[in-house]
Structures are given as structure tokens and as C-alpha cells.
Structure 1
């Protein structure tokens, strides 16, 4: 792995940020903040950064139709995607609509029977119910035929989505999507739950409800936004920061139960806890069983029932982990028998469809190239794709749209369905596109280092500054430091499968505990002195809190990558 060391801030920036330490100046400069005023706005975002919901195209049309449903007591069906973004978006919008007196039902498609997004079978089911209005959350922007079918069956449709549109928009009553080609909304990076929140804002403001009602929904926004890994900058950062405050001061009953089974304490939830703890457990429901379990937990009011649902999610998450590992191991064995192409693709009939996206992500990280993993069905293959910086996987799929039944996603992640007879042609074409766009250069992963650091600089003050940077995530990564010639004082493999590496490190007589996840296999090859790239973080054990280094890469002092 290549470490990319940033340029030092120029003198004028150092002067402007003179109240900050050397490391803090470097971190802020790396993120584009060069003046005291810009730093202040970044570190302390408030509600004023939020954009007017009516800047989203066709918001007025959506509110007008919702008002009609309220006036005539019409039933509204919220159609949600089955991931954490879609589930939180559905819970948020259902709560908002019920708060103004709407009759609401929620529908999640079955991942294994119906697949992703709006589908004809679901539309027909909803049409024969008492529903008059269908509102999608986190899906629908490419569902042109399905929306037309719904309209023919007498349903009005409002799309709320954040995925990239295709060549045309569905002919829905309103399509709320900040990624529309004609958008006027200043933040294109909203998650699906973020778009649902803007609709809820408009509903509440139309009814004259206090802003406190809006703020109470921000816990959903924080969870869905972090779990969907959209940029945590600008409005997203403000919404998530406020949402974390809601979670840590007045958590919902269901979230309390989820924290309990996940091992997190109330009041201690941050972006890491959501990204690696709460979010995966909510996602596990839709991956392994039904997203309805996660939805029920989020809206549950009874502590006993919430506890049972949280335990069920914990069980599903453990199952999800094993299923993912099984698929990844089999995929890697397949790639060992092939020439490694610039784009890797594997599909099998017995792969578990719910974890192909997770497996693709792991393979993408392992080989550092775009990866696609699919489940072959009787007539179609459903697959998920993950990519690396510089290769837009959704744009690549767009070039293959003649082969695909349906597809959608972002630059770095996508999903699609293809008829089995087209699978090999699709693979060949995608590999050709990858070769053409990425050339013959060796694909070497890079790691952006925020600053070189000595252990003497890594005290409570630096950790408190990192606290100010929260929430960290996409677009505002947790700072990564590097230190050279660190002495390994102690080492041991830890974890149920001995896959993690625990170390005691020392530099200039200053010791630090360190953990290196998934690096237990190198313990016997570890030399006395190493160069490390790491995150500084807090570790709490038996009520005692200390600073530790979360090592993300290890290199020999000469610069050769140990891994």
C-alpha cells in the first residue's frame, strides 16, 4: 500500500490557524479549511446550514398530493428499500405522516423473491389494497415501467430517492431526488433518509408544527446517512451531528435495545458505533431475512418486545457474517484459478444473495480493483458491484444497459439484474471497459495520511480535537497518522479465530497499546521495528478508558509493504 503524505500548509494558513497545533493545522488544511471562520463553521455546524426543502424539484406537487390524502383520509403506502438507509427512511416518513393524521402502511420488497426497488408484483399487491398514494423511499428513480404500471392501476406515485437517474425520469406525480439532472438543491449528497427527511420537513412546515418535531426525526437521519456511507460534509454533517445528539440524549426504545445487544453504552454513540455496530445489525435483517424486523425495532414502544427484536437482529447479524465469509472464501478460490483482470466478477447458483454486496466490498478491498459478486437464479443473476476511486461502476453498467434487466447505484457501488444467457457477455464487456479506462497501470491501493506524528504528540488534546471533527465518515475521514521506526515490545493474536493482532508499541520511550484488525496472520513475521499508519482512538475496558492506536497498515522501515 502506498502512503500519500500531504503537503504542508502554506505560511498564511499556519498564521490564520495559529490557535491550533501543528497536527490540527495539517488536518484542517487537508480538508480544505484555511481560515478561522471556515474552521469554525466546519467544527460547529448548526441548523442554519440546512437548505430549504422546497428547493428540491417537485416538492410542492408532493405536498399538494399528500394534503389531498390527509383531507380525504386516503391510505398511503410507503415503499422502502431493504437496507438501513431505506428502513430508517421508511420509519421516519411513517412517523412524520402519522403525526399529521395520515393513514399509513409500510411495504418492503422481499430481497429474494422480488429483488431491489419497485417491482410490478408489489405494485399490483398495493393497488388491490385500499391505498391511493404510493411513496417510495431510497428507490424508484429508475422504475419507469413500474411507475407507469402503478399509474395504470390507479395509484398516484411520489418518488423519493437519491440514486443516479437514468436517461429519463419516471412519470410519477413527483420525483424528489437531489441527483436529478435539473436539480437546484445545493446538497446532492443526501442519503435516501435525508430526502425523506426533507419531505417530512415540508409536511411539518405546511402544518405549522414546531421545529422540535423535525429535530426528533434526526436520529433516523444519522443512522441511515452513516450506514449508507454518503459524504459527511455540509448539510449531511450538520444533520448527522444533530441526529447523534438526539440518539445520545433521548434514544428510542428500539435503539436502546439495539445498543444493549451490540455492547454500546447509552450516551456513547458516534459515527463509528453506527457504522460498525448499529448499522450492520439493521442491515442484517434485509440481507438474511426481512427488513420488516429492523423497521419494527425502530418503531417499537414496548421494551420487552424491542429487546426480543434486538436479539433477533443480533442473531441475524452473526449469520450474515458467516455467510459473507463463506462467499468471500469461495470467490477468492475462484480467482486463484484465473488470471487477475482489472475487474473481477464471480457468480454462483449457491451464493447467498443477501451478502453478495458485502462480499464484493471485501474482494474489492482485497484485490484493489472493481469487484462484482452475483447469485445465479433460474433465469436471472442478481449481482452487486463495488469499485475503487477513478472507476465509476454505475457509468460502466450504463454502457452495458442493453444487456441488463435493471440496474442502479453510485460511482462506487451498484446493483443489477441480468438474464443468465447474457452473463458472460456482460462480464467480458465490463472487463474491456475497465481495461480501457484504467489502462495497463498496476493497481496499487493508496492510503491518505493526514500527518506524520510522534507519540509525544498523541495525547488527550489531540484526541479532543478528533472529537471535534466528529461525525467522521465519507468525505470527512477519521484522521490517519503515520509514525516510523516504532518498536514492537509485545505482540499476540486475539479474537475467536486469532485473526487480529494486539501489540504494545514504543517510540521515544512512550508506549501505546495498538490493535490491528485482520492482521493476526503476520505475527510470526513481524520485525522488531515497523512503520505504522493508524487512527488514534479511545478504548474502554472494564470501565477504564485509555488511548490506543488502531493500526490500518504496517510497513517495513525500508518502505516495503509487509502485507
Structure 2
């Protein structure tokens, strides 16, 4: 693994923030690297405030969107709320549907079937709206590229409001309003919202138009925080505020769905990471294994008995999802081992029987294993569908755009995307994608990299340091949990291999007379470095370990290497 210092921070800025807020140098350095350089920046970072949310009407299309919705309310017209089948989409539909019902709307919630309709706005969904006398569809977390489908709806007399956060193509759909802060001519101050976040801004705008208090809609922030975490958007700016308060709401267990999902966990305080690994996969499992609408129903339901029954169903789907994920990953790894090809810059695998609902998870696992831009294909109707994942620093969306002559449809982000193509184009696409990646990727990106914030000594890890560090949360892209390097460390003599086949390590580390316990998941093969009785360097995050009601300091080791 490559250990890379994130960047050098300006010493003048470090001194300034150190003096402004009275913190030690290691904390000041962490802040400057997060672009927190003044007292005001620090205040906003450490004390997030809902008063700092941006005016929703700064977003292009917000005036038209809110006017049309209120017009439909006056006309007592039903609306369809349409969202994607992942966590961002299902939470968006739950938020918007609940809010509009509270305004007296008759709402038809719609999530497309992953297998029958595929990703995004569907003709089937539009036809369903028409059959139910609906002439307005509010699409969330999808729609920015649905040019033909929006035109099809328009010909049927159905208008669209699109709330999306994906990158637009060359053309914008002919909707009444398109809310997407990534549009070039949208001057909204923050363009990293998730789909549910864009939906929340629309709800904010409606509250303002109706002259209702904003605090009435803060009860939806648990949904927004779940989407922010699960969709892996940056936890900066407005997202940080929404995630901070949404996390508090999740931890209050006020929403019956979250209470039921979290009943099994003994954790008192969930972090965003816990939300990503405990709540996200369960919500996702409904769309992967059965139907995304089940997740939306669970999130909206208030009857405790119904909630428990739905949560149990979703738990079963999640167990099935885990089994499918495991078996497909094993098959894919065997396929890769069977290849008799020269060193490739990409990993592209296909089997027609693979479960479409888990190919994204499998793509992520293969990326971790082989560290290449990765595509996992399966059969979907008369076409092939794939999930794409990338390595840090490489834009897989751009690579797909450069290979688009063989693609039917694609969409997504820098590090994750989805696509469909005709089966007879698979080999041509595979060759083209390999060529594009080979000619454009920096070969260094094919070696896993761990970035770290700074080098510290064990003596820097004081109770005050840990207390301030905890306030850097919630963590996520562009505000990752601080990672440190300590050099010339040794063990007290206690080094233990844990787990099956000794995959993990537990040890007591020593530096300048200070002893700290450390755990290293997946680092069992590094035990020999510790057994040499020679100094070594570690890269780690700092955690508090909860065990039997006791909390203790622990280093979570990411890698170990011999000291120079």
C-alpha cells in the first residue's frame, strides 16, 4: 500500500486557527486541511446550525416547482412521487409522500421494479400515472437524463418535476422544473446534495410558500441523513448540517422503522458509518431482492405491528442478499483466476444468472480485491446490465462516456455508475473500456493508497485531543475520520492473531513509554513485522472501543511497515 500525506498545510494558517480557537497544533493542522481557517469557519464546523441551511429558492427551478405543486393542491389533484429503488430513492419517496399527504394530497408512491423496469423513470411508471388520472409526477434521485421519457409523458398530458443530483447530459429534460444543483446554470451555493437532500429543499420551499415553520419539517432529517451516508456524498457544508441533525434523530429512535431495524443492535449512539452498514443495506435489500416499495412503506409506516412485520421481511431479504453476494463474489473471483490474459487495467466479469440486485456490491468487493476499475455484468431482459465501481482518483463515469458507442444507457457518479448494453456489444465494449482506462489512468492509482492527515506521537493523544476529534464527526467523503502515522513504534510483547486463520491482530503498542492497545483487521499477515523486535511504523485511526459497558481508547491499524 502507498501511504500518502493528504497535503501540506500552510504553517501561517495553522498558527492562526490555533490561536483563534485555542487548540493544539495537531488539531489546528487537521482543521486547515479541511479548509477551516477562521474562527467563523470553526464555529460553523463544530457547532452546525439549521439556520445556516441555504435559501431553497436559490436553486434553479424551485419557484416553478413549488408553484405547480401548490396549484395542484388547490385543484385537489393527485400526484405521483417517483423514486429510484436504492436508499437515496426510497428515503426520498418516503419524505416527499409523507409531507404531501400532510398537506392533504392524494399521493401515489412509485418505485420502479429493478428487474422489470430498471433504473430511473420508466414508461411503465408513466403509464401507471396516466391510468390513475395523474398529471404530475415528482421524480426524486433520477430523471436528469430521461429526455425521451419526459417527452413521452408530456404527450400523455403528464408534467414532471425532477429532483436529481446526478450529472446532467448535454440536454436537460423538458420538465416544468428540473432541480439539480449540478446543472451548469444553477447558482445554488452547494452542489453535493443527495437526491433526498434535493427533495428536502423542495419541501423547505413549500413550507416557506405556505408560511409554515421550518422546524415542522426537521422530523424528516433522519431520512436525509440515511441517504447522505448511504449515497456516499461529501459530508461538507449543507450535507454536514443535515447529517448532524439527522443522526441525532436516528439515535432518538423516533421513527418506528429505524427503531425496528435497530432493535437488534446494542449500540447506543450510531455514527454515519453505522447507518451505512446497519440501516442502508436493509433498506437496499428490499429493492435488491423483492421490491423497493417495501422499504418506502416501512419508512412511512407508523403502526408498530405493521412496522415489525415489514422489518422482519426486510431482515430476511437482507439475509438472502448476503448469501447471493457471497456466492457471486466467489464465482467472479474464480472467473478472474481462470483468465489467461496479460495484466489488465480493468476487471470486467459477466454471468447471465447473477442476481442483478447484488452486482453493485460484488463490483465493490472486486475493486477492493484487485484494485482496478470494475464492471460486473448480468443478463437483464434482452440486454446486459452492469454496475461499475472505480478506484480512488479515477473517474469511471468519464471512462464510460468515452466508451459510450457500445452502451445503450448509463448514469452515475465519478466512482459508481450503472449501464446497459446489447449482448452482441459486450466484447466490443469490454475491449474499448480496457483501452480507455489503459490510456487515461495513472498506473499509480492501481496500487491501493491510504492517505493520512499527519504524523503524531502517542503523547499527542490526550483526553482533550480525543474529545475534540470526536467533534469532527459525522465523517464521510471530504471529512473522513482523521488518519495518522506514528513512527518507531514497538510492542510490549503482547501480539495476538485473532479470528479464523489468524486474519486479524490485537496488540499493545509502545512509544516513548506510552502504551496503547491496537486492533488491526485483516492485518494478520503483518504479525511477523511486529515479532522482529525492531521498530515499525503504523498508520491508524483513533477509536473508542465499547465492551461490556466499558469504553477504552484503541488504535485501529490500517497498515504496518518496518521503520527506515
Tell me the TM-score normalised to structure 1 length: 0.93
SS in 2 for 1:139: coil
CA distance in 1, matches of 2:149, 2:219: 33
Where in structure 2 are there 5+ consecutive unaligned residues?
Answer: none
Question: How far off its partner does 1:492 sit?
Answer: 4.2
Q: Which residues of 2 match residues 174-185 of structure 1 at below 5 A?
A: 174-185=177-188
Residues 392 and 412 in structure 1, CA contact (< 8 A), matched pair in contact too: yes
Secondary structure of 2:168's partner?
coil
Partner of 1:512: 516
Deviation at 1:496, TM superposition (A): 7.1
Contact 2:14 2:25 in 1 (8 A): no
- 1:479 and 1:133, CA in 2 relative to 1: closer, same or farther beyond 3 A? same
For residues 125-173 of structure 1, the C-alpha deviation after alignment (integer angstroms, 9 at most, x for no partner) is 2221232211111011111111112222222211111101111011112
**Contact 1:159–1:175, Cα closer than 8 Å, also in 2:** yes
Please tell me whether the aligned partners of residues 13 and 35 of structure 1 are also in contact (alpha carbons under 8 angstroms).
no
Per the alignment, residue 561 of structure 1 pairs with: none
Pair 1:551–1:342, CA change in 2 (3 A): same
Provide the secondary structure at the position in 1 that maps to 2:506.
Answer: strand
In structure 1, the partner of 2:155 is 152
Q: Contact (CA 8 Å) 2:403, 2:436: kept in 1 or not?
A: no
Aligned counterparts, 1:495-510, within 5 A: 499-510=503-514
How far is the alpha carbon of 1:498 from its aligned partner? 6.3
Change in Cα spacing, 1:527 to 1:147, as seen in structure 2 (3 Å) is: farther
Structure 2 distance, partners of 1:531, 1:403, is 47
- 1:433 matched to 2:444? The reply is no
> Does residue 350 of the first structure (1) align with residue 353 of the second (2)?
yes
Equivalent residues of 1:288, 1:320 under 8 A apart: yes
SS across alignment from 1:461: helix
Q: Is the 8 A contact 2:225 2:242 kept in 1?
A: yes
- 1:224 and 2:230 correspond: no
CA RMSD of aligned residues (A): 2.2
Q: Are the counterparts in 2 of residues 453 and 483 from structure 1 also a CA contact under 8 Å?
A: yes
- Are 1:113 and 2:77 an aligned pair? no
Aligned to 1:333: 334
- C-alpha distance in structure 1 between counterparts of 2:394 and 2:132, whole Å: 44
Aligned partner of 2:145 in structure 1 is 142
Counting matched residue pairs gives 556
For residue 487 of structure 1, report the CA deviation from its aligned partner.
3.1
Whether 2:563 is the aligned partner of 1:557: answer yes
> The residue matched to 1:341 in structure 2 has which SS?
coil
Residue in structure 2 matched with residue 40 of structure 1 by the alignment: 43
Secondary structure class of the residue paired with 2:3: strand
Identify which range, 505-514 or 416-425, moves more after superposition. 505-514
Q: Conserved in 1, the CA contact under 8 Å of 2:356 and 2:380?
A: no
Work out whether 1:534 is the aligned partner of 2:544.
Answer: no
Which residue of the partner structure matches residue 17 of structure 1? 18
Note the alpha carbon deviations across 1:65-123, whole angstroms, 9 max, x for none: 21122112211111111111111111111111112111112111111222111121222
CA contact (8 A) 1:53 1:202 kept: yes
Distance 2:548 2:204 in 1: 42
Q: How does 1:169-208 map to 2 (within 5 A)?
A: 169-208=172-211
CA contact (8 A) 1:17 1:34 kept: no
Bigger shift: residues 90-99 or 514-523: 514-523
Which residue is 1:282 aligned to?
283
1:26-83 superposed Cα distances (whole Å, 9 cap, x missing partner): 2112212223332222222322332111121111221122112211221111111111
2:75 to 69, 72, 81: 72
